[in-house]
Structure 1
Amino acid sequence: MMSRVQKGMVAGFAATVAVSILEAVNVFAGPWVQPFPSVVATLIGMEGNLAVGWVAHFLAGTLLLGALFGVVCPKLPTDTPETKGIAFAVAAWAVLMVGVLLFGDPRMFNAGGGFAVVAWMLVTHVVFGIVMGNVYARLVNRDKRAHDMSGAAAAH
């Protein structure tokens, strides 16, 4: 049986993989907008280093957002796991945007398309939330089924 944090980290990793596939298409077929790993690398002071951006992207999606989602998921106000994931991911996107405005350089979006980058990041965060919520719910349900004692024999 995994803890909620562990389930969140597994779900965060799966969601990061899903978003990374979208980002890989953007990087290798386009790029249509500035890739998110490039934004992350710029935020941490390693502008232009996509490898560092990819690593930071996976670490943040798995260890930070995934673990945090595992903690707050039961408290989120929506009904379905996917909408819980969307609400969480959009909140994370909003924190990221505030972080860029307060600590980063908002002009970093100018080279890659301005509003298109912000919109792309919102869309990918929504996808991240859907996948994370779905995987997290599947892990929770798996643990519930594993501990279901309804068909067990009596102890005495």
Structure 2
Amino acid sequence: MGSDFYQLSILPYAGIIIKICRAYTNNQEDFEDYYQEVCLQIWRSKDNFNHDSQWSTWIYRVSLNVCLTYLKRDSKSSRQLASDSLPDEVIDDSKAFVNDDINELYNAIKHLSETDRAIILLYLEEKSYLEIADIVGSSTNNIGVRITRIKDRLNQFLQEKD
């Protein structure tokens, strides 16, 4: 993967990729594997971007698809990674499993269905209902209802933990 492409087209969206990968992994090693695979898939499929949506929306779609695909795989051995370690810029920002409050939130999010996880992550990224609907393939009304229900489930789960 060219460093120019990475610097200009992926690194500015690393926060998006980090949050999505974090929501679908349980440890730092898996997180790094998912992150690398997402970056690799973005690079491989960059020519398929058709400009019907924003680049960030497309990054979300690719990230979600990669993470959901990995969840369905039984074996780590079938993964092909871009490299053995993440770039320093990502490692400095990720520290994905360090903060206990964030770990509790992600743990609660992991109890949601795959689609609900995607929806709440997009909501936490302050995406509009229209953008969320576009990314997950739903209507804006449905997204509004689902977000309300997801928040209720997360609150209930977090209160039970206290």
Query: Which category of TM-score, normalised to the shorter sequence, fits these structures?
Result: 0.3 to 0.5
Q: TM-score, normalised by structure 1?
A: 0.39
Instruction: Work out which structure has the larger RCO, using CA pairs closer than 8 Å and 6 or more positions apart in sequence.
Output: 1
